[in-house]
């Protein structure tokens, strides 16, 4: 398979080139030096230029009567934002939770960003993508709401931001294009066009984009080895993976105002094709040199239609109705070839959902609010899987399954805002569903749960707030876990488990928020979960793994969000931001009976940003990075660990004129390395010691990006 302009076969053929490694190292160290120098320049360059803008502070946050903080458009002006997404990411102490298209229904799937007091009428479209459709110039201010505010549905979140667009008539058109230049000569282009038009009675927003680029998290090359537990070499060689994606997306939204009624319509479509090619060049093994390959092709096509109606106020009640329908078809084919008989797998899944939600809100005197909700949904997932080895079919448990669910939920919420810094919210939701399986599995189950929640926010003093959340959470079943699946990249086959039950958790969450220096914020959050029916991996038939319930466990998380304006340190326009989460978990391993971490839990992850806005230069300079993380999963005959290095980038946004922003970006200048380690046992982990340890690494070289955004 030819991927991009350079095939992996060509790369592998050149693996022994004596110059390849020194050149690669030179690129990496050179890029790292550029990144370090950029960070120093960002903090120290041209003090006189920065002095010119001293005292020209942007608009300060506004203390609103509701207790919320309002950030006017001028607050973000020095950073020259292009879209609502750019502005939301600059709200101090706020971390955006994106929409989760895999969550069925609307509760919990909508993120923590509102637009004009309403949740975006989208589900399969990511919140990030939706916010890119809103030009920064059309925004009047962004409110940060902690606890509650009149007329605001918090969507079950303790903190949300509300984007308030300015009134009046306007129209915008923006074109954004970038190209990524990779070290081997390949290029990854992208083009996006956004348009909006707004009047007193009608607003339209549209966006269309296309891209053809590498998926950075999985591309790269590095060492491959298999060792015994004593360290003796079994195999040595090189591993390389190339992963390209081609994507087309289009969306259209309309809002129609007719007197005191508002209608919202939304449509979206996406088509994504991925090509992944993995090559193992074995240089030394008991059988001599060899080559193994995995070729994986996948395609996703889907769309969404939604309609919302905000009805007139009826005797103090404000009713709203929303209907969303989604469709997605995923197809993946994989072939593994080399020393073993050729293995082929294919999986096709078709998922659809139609969900309707009605809400009625009553705002009473004295800060009281009552909200009634009702939601109904029909979901289906049709999965067909097959696998062959050497041309012979391999029997997979629950390979072909049709899953259908009818679900209903009703809830009541009462909240009270004292007006003196104390907000309380008490809610309860009752959910019932019937799930039926047909095909290789004939089964039907009914589930019912009550989900209470208590939230409290107390403004102890100006800029100091305490928050408490007590909640009974009910996890959603992933319908794909009911059917068998194969992962050619990981060399794993998972059986389906129609007996899977949802995970339950009693949650206690405490948060302390401290605001300082107008633009600074510190938020410290601790969360403890008492988990019932932990969903992890269980052995099936002594040879497969499958998602399953492994008993009760605990999860703990400590999160820190820190935003520090650097003006007080003599660096005008400077900003430092850090988000980090430390996690602990505990459950009993179903294979060994010993206590361990829950599979997939990351002990630590975080991100870092250091920026400096220089209005005199019409520029912003940014150093940004995702910190390294690791995770482990525990299977019947192996323990798999993934260690992923940090992903760092530096960029310069230059605005030569008000309607144009040019970005020059060096990405991944530390050459992020991704290492997978598998401790493989000859039999169940409870019966034998580790047989061999397989380790493969892939380091992705730095690359350069130029992005131009032009508005008309």
Most confident of the following: 179-183, 490-494, 540-544: 179-183
SS3 572: coil
pLDDT band at 19 (very low <50, low <70, confident <90, very high): very low
pLDDT, tens only, 73-91: 888 888 888 888 889 988 9
| Average pLDDT estimate for 347-351 | 93
pLDDT, tens only, 604-654: 999 999 999 999 999 999 999 999 999 999 999 999 999 999 999 999 999
In angstroms, the first-to-last Cα distance of the chain is 42
pLDDT, tens only, 395-414: 777 788 899 999 999 999 99
| Average pLDDT estimate for 97-125 | 73
Q: Which residue has the higher pLDDT, 682 or 247?
A: 247
Q: Which residue has the higher pLDDT, 539 or 666?
A: 666
Pair 68, 91: CB distance under 8 Å: no
CATH 3.20.180.10: does it fit domain 8-711? no
Residue 304 is predicted with a pLDDT of: 93
DSSP 8-class letter at 138: G
Q: Which residue has the higher pLDDT, 62 or 447?
A: 447
> How open is the CA angle 167-321-431, to the nearest 5 degrees?
135
| Average pLDDT estimate for 109-118 | 80
pLDDT, tens only, 225-274: 999 988 899 999 999 998 889 999 999 999 999 888 999 999 999 999 99
Most confident of the following: 125-139, 145-159, 650-664: 650-664
Residue 254 is predicted with a pLDDT of: 93
Say if residue 489's pLDDT is above 80: no
Residue 430 is predicted with a pLDDT of: 96
Q: 262 has which bridge partners? A: 257, 310
SS3 231: coil
pLDDT band at 478 (very low <50, low <70, confident <90, very high): confident
pLDDT band at 37 (very low <50, low <70, confident <90, very high): low
Task: Give Cβ neighbours of residue 300 (< 8 Å, ≥ 6 apart).
Answer: 270, 271, 272, 273, 328, 329, 330, 331
Task: Look at residues 312, 421, 425 and name the one whose alpha carbon lies nearest to residue 360.
Answer: 312
Q: Reading across the β-sheet that carries 62-63, which strands appear in turn? A: 62-63, 69-72, 139-146, 159-165, 113-115
From 115-119, 368-372, 608-612, the region with the lowest mean pLDDT: 115-119
């Amino acid at each position: 398979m030819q991927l991009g302009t350079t095939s992996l076969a060509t790369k592998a053929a050149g693996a022994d080139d004596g110059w390849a490694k020194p050149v690669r190292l030179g690129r990496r160290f050179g890029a790292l030096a550029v990144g370090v120098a950029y960070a120093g320049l960002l903090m120290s360059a041209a003090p006189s230029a920065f002095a010119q803008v001293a005292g020209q502070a942007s608009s300060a946050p506004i203390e609103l009567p509701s207790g919320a903080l309002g950030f006017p458009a001028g607050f973000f002006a020095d950073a020259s934002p292009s879209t609502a997404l750019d502005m939301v990411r600059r709200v101090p102490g706020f971390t955006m939770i994106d929409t989760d298209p895999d969550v069925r229904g609307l509760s919990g799937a909508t993120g923590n960003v509102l637009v004009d007091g309403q949740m975006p009428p989208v589900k399969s479209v990511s919140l990030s993508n939706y916010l890119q459709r809103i030009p920064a110039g059309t925004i009047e201010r962004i409110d940060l709401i902690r606890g509650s505010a009149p007329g605001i549905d918090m969507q079950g979140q303790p903190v949300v931001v509300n984007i308030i667009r300015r009134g009046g008539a306007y129209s915008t058109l923006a074109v954004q294009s970038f190209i990524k230049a990779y070290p081997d000569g390949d290029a990854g282009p992208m083009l996006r066009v956004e348009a909006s038009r707004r009047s007193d009675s009608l607003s339209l927003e549209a966006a269309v984009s296309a891209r053809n680029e590498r998926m950075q998290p999985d591309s790269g090359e590095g060492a491959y080895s298999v060792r015994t537990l004593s360290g003796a070499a079994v195999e040595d060689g090189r591993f390389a993976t190339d992963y390209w994606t081609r994507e087309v997306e289009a969306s259209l939204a309309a809002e129609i105002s007719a007197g005191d009624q508002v209608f919202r319509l939304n449509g979206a479509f996406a088509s994504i094709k991925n090509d992944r090619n993995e090559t193992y060049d074995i240089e030394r093994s008991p059988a001599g040199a060899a080559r193994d390959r995995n070729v994986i092709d996948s395609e996703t096509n889907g769309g969404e239609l939604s309609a919302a109606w905000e009805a007139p106020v009826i005797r103090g009640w404000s009713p709203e109705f929303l209907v969303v329908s989604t469709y997605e078809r995923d197809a993946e084919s994989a072939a593994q070839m080399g020393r073993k008989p050729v293995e082929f797998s294919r999986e096709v899944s078709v998922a659809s959902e139609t969900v309707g939600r009605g809400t009625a809100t009553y705002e009473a005197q004295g800060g009281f609010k009552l909200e009634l909700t009702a939601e109904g949904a029909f979901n289906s997932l049709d999965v067909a899987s097959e696998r062959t080895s050497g041309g012979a079919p391999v029997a997979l448990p629950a390979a072909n399954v049709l899953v259908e669910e009818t679900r209903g939920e009703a809830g009541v919420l009462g909240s009270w805002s004292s007006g003196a810094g104390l907000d309380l919210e008490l809610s309860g939701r009752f959910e019932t569903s019937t799930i039926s399986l047909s095909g290789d599995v004939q089964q039907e189950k009914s589930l019912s749960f009550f989900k209470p929640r208590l939230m409290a926010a107390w403004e102890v003093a100006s800029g100091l707030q305490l928050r408490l959340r007590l909640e009974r959470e009910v996890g959603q079943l992933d319908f794909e876990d009911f059917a068998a699946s194969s992962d050619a990249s990981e060399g794993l086959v998972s059986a389906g488990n129609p007996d899977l039950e949802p995970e339950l958790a009693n949650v206690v969450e405490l948060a302390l928020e401290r605001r300082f220096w107008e633009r600074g914020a510190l938020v410290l959050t601790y969360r403890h979960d008492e988990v019932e029916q932990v969903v992890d991996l269980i052995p099936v038939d002594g040879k497969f793994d499958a998602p399953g319930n492994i008993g009760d466990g605990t999860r703990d998380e400590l999160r820190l969000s820190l935003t520090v304006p650097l003006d007080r340190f003599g660096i005008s326009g400077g900003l430092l931001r850090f988000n980090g989460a430390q996690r602990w978990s505990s459950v009993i391993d179903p294979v060994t009976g010993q206590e361990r971490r829950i599979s997939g839990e990351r002990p630590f992850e975080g991100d870092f940003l250091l920026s400096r806005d220089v209005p005199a230069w019409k520029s912003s300079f940014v150093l940004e990075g995702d910190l390294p993380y690791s995770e482990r999963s525990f299977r019947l005959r192996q323990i798999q660990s993934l260690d992923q290095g940090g992903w760092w980038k530096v960029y310069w946004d230059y605005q030569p004129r008000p309607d144009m922003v040019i970005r020059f970006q060096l990405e991944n200048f530390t050459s992020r390395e991704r290492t997978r380690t598998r401790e493989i046992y000859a039999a169940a982990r409870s019966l034998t010691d580790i047989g061999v340890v397989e380790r493969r690494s892939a380091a992705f070289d730095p690359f350069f990006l130029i992005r131009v955004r032009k508005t008309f």
